[in-house]
Amino acid sequence: MQRFSCPFCGLRDETEFHFAAEAGKHRPEPAPEVSDADWADYLFGNDAPRGPAREVWVHLTCGEFFVMTRDTVTREVLGSAALPGRSQ
């Protein structure tokens, strides 16, 4: 069992967490001018990086979303931080 770090609760078992999305996506605006292709890329497109990755996860037990930096090959956790605007 691997342990991930929630910025609010500290180290917890990996089963308490759920992967939400790759970090760094920006919702294209304004909506009426966004092409179908750009919207599809925002909704569905991923980098699926090999190695270091920034991801948004949710800690299911406290309900907070946060950014976790991990290595997707070794599974080493490199850091976790609250989303911008959320105080720890």
Does residue 11 belong to the site contacting other proteins (CB under 8 A)? no
CB 56 within 8 A of CB 6: no
User: What is the total count of residues that contact other proteins (CB under 8 A)?
Assistant: 27
**Total residue count of the chain as it appears in this document:** 88
CB 12 within 8 A of CB 57: no
Residues 6+ apart with CB under 8 A from 59: 6, 8, 9, 12, 16, 17, 66
Output the six-digit token pair for 50: 């090999």
Alpha carbon distance 62, 49 (integer Å): 28
- Of 15 and 61, CB closest to other proteins: 15
Q: Minimal distance in Å, beta carbon 64 to other proteins?
A: 18
Does residue 31 belong to the site contacting other proteins (CB under 8 A)? no
Please give the residues from 32 up to 51 whose contact with other proteins meets the rule CB under 8 A: 36-37, 39-41, 43-51
Does residue 27 belong to the site contacting other proteins (CB under 8 A)? no
Where on the chain is the footprint of other proteins (CB under 8 A)?
A: 1-2, 13-15, 18-19, 36-37, 39-41, 43-51, 53, 55, 72-75
